[in-house]
Amino acid sequence: MADGAIEITSVISQFRESETLLETVREKLKSIALSEEGAAGARGSLESAAGSLGESVASLRAVVEEIAAVRRASVGALEAAQKFLEGTDLSALRTSVESLPKKLETSIGDRMQQMDVKNASNQKSMMDETKKLTERFDDLAKTAVSVKEEQGKYAELLENYNKLYANYNTLYSRIPQRTKTKMGI
């Protein structure tokens, strides 16, 4: 009878240990669930940044095309005015009009260069943000792999717990009722 009592005590101890392990696994699963939520948020931010970058590039292309069209029209108008003035005696006006296309071209070129610098700065900023989000997404992807591993461990622990619980029930059912009453179990 002493051997039976030791086995029951051992089974009860193993049962309590399995409860502790299950609680640890529950805590890890909560942490993993929070990590998965963070990964979903980072993925949304990354997609939003990529969309904003595309919109900025499209907007800048349209502005550059409009500036180029205005420049071409201005140069054409100034050339027509220059041809008109070639037949007049307004030499001072002629000199001024002749220098306008060059001044206009320089002014437009300077402004386009300023826009290029600003565009490059915006693109760099967006690329840096995209890089950060990509790194965060990669970290979350690694966490997801860790989650899968923890889920496998959890499944193994759950299987061991179920086996221990089945053994406990089997052993418990073998204990005579009077022994259970004496031991208070």
pLDDT digits (tens, 9 = 90+) for 52-73: 777 877 777 777 788 777 777 7
How far are the Cα atoms of 44, 74, 157 from residue 78, in angstroms, in the given order? Answer: 51, 6, 84
- Does residue 111 lie in a domain region? yes
Once rounded to an integer, what is the mean pLDDT over residues 5-16? 73
Place of tokens 């826009």: 115
pLDDT at 67: 76
- Does residue 33 lie in a domain region? no
Distance CA 183, CA 177 (A): 10
- Does residue 34 lie in a domain region? no
Checking if the pLDDT of 178 tops 50, the result is: yes
- Does residue 10 lie in a domain region? no
pLDDT at 173: 87
- Does residue 25 lie in a domain region? no
Q: Identify the residue with better confidence: 185 or 97.
A: 185
Distance CA 179, CA 36 (A): 50
Distance CA 17, CA 100 (A): 90
Three-class SS state of 76:
helix
Q: CA quadruple 161, 165, 166, 167: dihedral positive or negative?
A: positive
Average pLDDT, the chain: 77
In contact, 119 and 141? CB cutoff 8 Å: no
- Does residue 151 lie in a domain region? yes
In contact, 145 and 39? CB cutoff 8 Å: no
State how many domains the chain has. Answer: 1
Once rounded to an integer, what is the mean pLDDT over residues 109-113? 75
What is the span of the domain harbouring residue 60? 45-183
Residue type at 69? A
Report field, pTM of the whole predicted structure over 0.75? no
- Does residue 3 lie in a domain region? no
Three-class SS state of 84:
helix
Angle of helix 2-86 versus helix 91-174 axis, rounded to 10? 170
- Does residue 109 lie in a domain region? yes
Total residue count of the chain as it appears in this document: 185
